[in-house]
């Protein structure tokens, strides 16, 4: 028995759906990597879509903005998105650059790895904590050259600034 084109397509869709469900992590990682590599392409495509469907988008949000379920879903999505590694990494990169730290992309990757794995201050050996501002992790850098120096606790970072 030969399948029609439509039956082949349907069978293929079912196979792809099962594959995605079975390999969720692998598919998600592939999609993340794709988005990183094709950031500009995706931005342009999204912009084009938004321009083309302005009214449709506006209508959708108007219709759903009072819906508590929609608000809750949107809030959850936003929080989940903000807590992804890529977003957190991007936020830190922008924050450090705005504070005058200078680095290439390769240097950033190295600094980021050190920052995320470091558990104690490089000066006083105090364990980092979010309880007190003086125990937060800080990225110490030379304010003249912008070069990264150490991962310090807040207290040592302030002391170092006054040196």
Q: What are phi and psi of 138, to 5 degrees?
A: -130, 145
Report in angstroms the alpha-carbon separations of 68 from 57, 74, 77, 81. 18, 10, 14, 20
In which residue ranges of the chain is pLDDT below 70?
1, 133, 161-163
Quick one: pLDDT at residue 162? 58
Write down the pLDDT at residue 85. 84
Output the pLDDT for position 3: 83
Residue-level pLDDT at 49: 95
Domain with CATH 3.40.1800.10 in the chain: 102-162
Q: pLDDT at position 163, please?
A: 57
Does the pTM exceed 0.85?
Answer: no
Question: Between the CA atoms of 130, 104, 84 and 39, what dihedral angle is there, to the nearest 10 degrees?
Answer: 160
Into which CATH architecture does domain 102-162 fall? 3-Layer(aba) Sandwich (3.40)
Instruction: Locate 13 and state its tokens.
Output: 């869709």
């Amino acid at each position: 028995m030969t399948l029609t084109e439509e039956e082949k397509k349907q069978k293929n869709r079912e196979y792809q759906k099962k594959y995605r469900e079975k390999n969720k992590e692998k598919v998600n990682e592939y999609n993340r990597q794709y988005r990183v590599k094709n950031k500009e392409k995706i931005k342009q495509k999204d912009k084009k879509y938004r321009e083309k469907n302005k009214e449709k988008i506006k209508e959708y949000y108007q219709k759903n903005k009072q819906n508590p379920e929609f608000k809750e879903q949107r809030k959850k999505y936003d929080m989940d998105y903000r807590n992804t590694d890529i977003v957190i990494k991007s936020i830190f990169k922008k924050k450090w650059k705005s504070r005058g730290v200078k680095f290439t992309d390769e240097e950033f990757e190295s600094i980021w790895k050190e920052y995320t794995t470091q558990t104690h201050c490089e000066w006083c050996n105090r364990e980092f904590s979010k309880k007190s501002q003086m125990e937060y992790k800080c990225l110490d850098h030379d304010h003249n050259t912008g070069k990264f120096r150490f991962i310090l606790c807040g207290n040592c970072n302030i002391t170092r600034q006054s040196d």
